[in-house]
A and B are shown apart, each in its own frame.
Chain A
Amino acid sequence: MKPKALILQAHGTNRDFDVMDALTLAGADPIGVPLNELRNHKRLFRDFQLIVLPGGFSYADALGAGKLLALDLISYFADEIFAFVESGKPVIGICNGFQALVKSGILPSPNERGNEGEGVTLTFNTQGHFECRWVMLKPVSQKCIWTKGLDESITCPIAHGEGNFQTSEAFPLSSFLEQDQIALTYVRADGSPANGYYPANPNGSLLDIAGVCNPQGNVLGLMPHPENHIFDYQHPRHTRGETGNSGLKLFENGVKYTAQV
């Protein structure tokens, strides 16, 4: 019995089918669910083993990318989502999904219900515009069930204008680091740290942070799109014979973990 994955579809979601293909390859049964079907209880969060908030431009990024989707999540589904998260089941928010998870307070630490976490946000890229380019990611966190045990870096595209992970002085950065919550960082092609340099770090994120997880490790949010590198022919240099470093293992981790919850 394949684990059922809920792929949340909001107005403006555009990478639902991309991530469904990745999850199918990873061994799950992905089901696209429009937000309204959850609102009218046609579908229930608790019937699923895994939740995905896919990429896109939900609500046209009005009031900030992911803001209105975050309001939807907290206004209509706060109890259900927090229960799902507390149960330890895997959740992944990609790009717009990550933005929604941060702006609803689910990431990095779901202790303030409904408020964007104190002093953390995803803001405008330093270069001041949307950018689409391939990057290299280093899996870091061994607490995060999605990145645990991944020893190979992942190359995949970013496609965002508001991916700049920043914290203010109010944010408990040291405990965040102690809790192994940095899930992935941007690195150069040779694997060395980007150290803030563009374009290896494509948006100016603090500490080259590409993705973070909650203290429990079951919720991952990341700006890049590993779901867009699951086939050899997607690699930018496949015609030069370069393959590998795909995003598939990250999804396989999440799917495998559903058996343990």
Chain B
Amino acid sequence: MVVKYNNKAGLDLSNEFLHEGIPQRQLKAIIERPAKPAFIRFSVSPSAPEFASQTLLKLLAHPNIASKAAVIRIYDHEVQGGTVVKPLTGVEDDAPSDATVLKPIRTKSAKGIVLSNGINPEYGKQDAYRMAMAVIDEAVRNAVAVGADPERIAILDNFCWGDPLRAETLGSLTEAARGCHEAALLFRTPFISGKDSLNNEYLGADGQRHAIPPTLLISAIGLIDDVHRAVTMDLKEAGNEVYLVGKFQPVFGGSHFSKITSQAINESVPDVHEITPKVYKALHQAILSNLIRSAHDLSEGGLAVAAAEMCIGGRLGMKIESNMRDDAVRVLFGESTGTLLVEVRKRDKEKILSMFNGLPCERIGIVVENENLSVSIHGFDILNMSLSDLITAWNTTL
């Protein structure tokens, strides 16, 4: 490239230098393999139900799980009149929606846009690769739960990481990128944008510089063909049945259960099962066929928290009776990717089972008029809590 002024060359650079000449940084990444997991079994003891109740209340009150109404309501989420599924839903407008459904103003068709997210730095602390897989799954799962078509979802990434010049930090970043690549291919969700914020470090009590926990936020945008078909997570009617769909593999690594009880901290972080995209496709078909009265995904806090939130939404109770092989505490509070609780009319039992056609879809309970959440695993009554206690724990923190 030559630039002349009054016939004198002011600039004379080779294009190769200009475009290819920058010296490439050579950085070193050390990938720390997660420690070998140690599984713990919680024995069924007389004190287990008391422990389970107290744990559920503590989880519902934890700032990461508790109601964000105090923050949500100071922003205008109604302007342009297109918020079809609102951030807080249910009988009293106080239960947490999985995703939002928007009908853009002035559009003529019934099509809507779905927006959702996935984030879990607790997983990142232990296994950045699995965290990336899990949070992409979470964003997709949240979108599918309200009615998005799993085959029309795009995602974007937001990395908040420490200093990449530290070899271990670059190592976790590389692992997260690997997880992003594999999850995007597994779910067939293209990354359409993203950003990063690096060099987030702090001075610890030990006087040393530390990186923040590896944190990846995935946001997803999906399409719903008819906003009138949107699904919300509040239980709708007593007598309907509750199904657990998706491959349920509850573990405690990076779980909020471990965060509050300090137990089972050496377990592995949940991974994503390859069957999950098929599960979401089946769920979407079930939604299109009007079989799903409500749906809510399992995330922080596990199945107990998800069930409690659905009860809060519908101001209805739930009676869970399951013969699952895992111990009761694991069933209630273990965390798993790719799973949701869905509410189905009794008369649609055959239809839903045939729609899932061999994919994991297990009837685990019913919606009840009395305002109680009760759980019985292998005949052992592990939980029996009043809705008002759940609501108080959920609504008080923030």
Contact = CB atoms under 8 A, between A and B. Distances in A.
Interface residues of A, number: 28
A159 B76 CA distance: 6
Interface stretch (A32-40, A113-121, A230-238): A230-238
A133 interface: yes
Nearest to A225: B78
Contacts of A134: 93
B79 A14 contact: yes
A57 to B, nearest CB: 9
A129 B80 contact: no
B86 interface: yes
Interface string B73-94: 1111111110111100111010
A228 B77 CA distance: 11
A252 interface: no
B231 interface: yes
Contacts of A234: 81, 83-84
B366 interface: no
A140 B346 CA distance: 45
B91 A18 contact: no
B227 interface: yes
B99 interface: no
Nearest to B229: A239
A61 interface: no
Given A232-B228, A239-B232, A159 B78 contact: yes
Interface in A7-59: 14-15, 17-18, 21, 55
B73 A133 contact: yes
A132 B105 contact: no
Contacts of B93: 133-134, 236
A130 B75 CA distance: 7
Nearest to A239: B232
A18 B227 CA distance: 18
B73 A131 contact: yes
B234 to A, nearest CB: 7
A227 B85 CA distance: 18
- Most chain-A Cβ atoms within 10 A of its Cβ — which of B75, B78, B80? B78
B79 A159 contact: yes
Contact of A236 (B80, B89, B105): B89
Determine chain A's interface SS by DSSP, over half rule. mixed
Nearest to A242: B91
Contact of B234 (A55, A131, A240): A240
Interface in B86-139: 86, 89-91, 93, 103, 105-106
A44 B228 CA distance: 41
A108 interface: no
Nearest to B110: A233
A18 B73 contact: no
Interface in A161-213: none
A132 B75 contact: yes
B37 to A, nearest CB: 40
B107 to A, nearest CB: 11
A239 B76 CA distance: 21
Nearest to A160: B76
Nearest to B82: A234
B230 interface: yes
A29 to B, nearest CB: 16
A93 interface: no
A230 to B, nearest CB: 7
A240 B106 CA distance: 25
Contacts of B103: 233
> Taking each of A17, A55, A232, A233, which has the highest tally of chain B beta carbons within 10 Å of its own beta carbon?
A233
Contacts of A227: 81
10 contacts: A17-B106, A21-B81, A130-B74, A131-B73, A132-B78, A133-B73, A159-B76, A233-B230, A239-B89, A239-B294
Given A233-B227, A233-B230, A239-B230, 18 more contacts: A15-B80, A17-B80, A17-B106, A18-B79, A18-B80, A55-B79, A130-B74, A131-B73, A132-B72, A132-B74, A132-B77, A133-B93, A159-B79, A228-B81, A233-B228, A234-B83, A236-B93, A239-B234
The 9 closest A-B pairs by CB, nearest first: A157-B78, A159-B76, A239-B232, A228-B81, A18-B81, A233-B84, A132-B76, A233-B227, A130-B74
